[in-house]
């Protein structure tokens, strides 16, 4: 019987190398620097408990292998209060992903757009005031 029993491996930590698709998210600050080795957590769709936690790698990247479709979140927090929440939509039946909040414009373009929106908003207030003054004058 002892010859037929499987080897006792209760204390051995074994491993197996797998091939598979993973989601790879790269983080960077607006000045191009990356949050190397900062902590992150990956949350599955509607999960309160993290699916994965760890530290960002030396390339500023987080990779994980989602096991179900839905909106996944990768939350990064630095000690000085900076951070980001990347939302990644994983399609059913495949690992095709879409980032609904991803970066589309360069930082300079975003700043220019922001200034434009600000000035435009105050312009609208000025026009509204002008219109109101005209109405009150009759």
Residues near other proteins, by CB under 8 A: 29-31, 33, 39, 48-50, 53, 73, 75, 77, 79-85, 101, 103, 107, 110-111, 113-115, 117-119, 121-123, 125-126, 129-130
Could you write out the DSSP letters of every residue in the chain? -TTTSPPP-TT-----------EEEE---TTS---TT-EEEEE-TT-SS-SEEEE--TTSEEEE--SS-EEEEEEEE-TTS-EEEEEEEEPTTS--EE-TT---S-HHHHHHHHHHHHHHHHHHHHHHHHHHHHHHH-
Q: Least Å distance between CB 93 and other proteins? A: 28
Q: Least Å distance between CB 50 and other proteins? A: 7
Task: Choose between 45 and 50: whose C-beta lies nearer to other proteins.
Answer: 50
Q: Least Å distance between CB 118 and other proteins? A: 5
Task: Choose between 68 and 82: whose C-beta lies nearer to other proteins.
Answer: 82
Task: Choose between 21 and 30: whose C-beta lies nearer to other proteins.
Answer: 30
């Amino acid at each position: 019987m002892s010859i037929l029993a499987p080897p006792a491996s209760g204390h051995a930590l074994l491993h197996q190398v797998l091939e598979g698709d993973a989601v790879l998210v790269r983080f960077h600050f607006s000045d191009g620097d990356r949050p190397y080795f900062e902590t992150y957590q990956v949350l599955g769709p509607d999960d309160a408990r993290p699916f994965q936690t760890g530290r960002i790698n030396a390339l500023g990247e987080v990779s994980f292998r989602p096991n179900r479709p839905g909106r996944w979140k990768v939350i990064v927090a630095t000690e000085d209060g900076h951070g980001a929440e990347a939302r990644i939509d994983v399609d059913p039946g495949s690992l095709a992903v879409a980032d609904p909040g991803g970066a589309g414009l360069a930082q300079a373009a975003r700043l220019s757009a922001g200034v434009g929106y600000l000035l435009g908003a105050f312009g609208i207030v000025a026009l509204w005031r002008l219109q109101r003054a005209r109405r009150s004058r009759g």
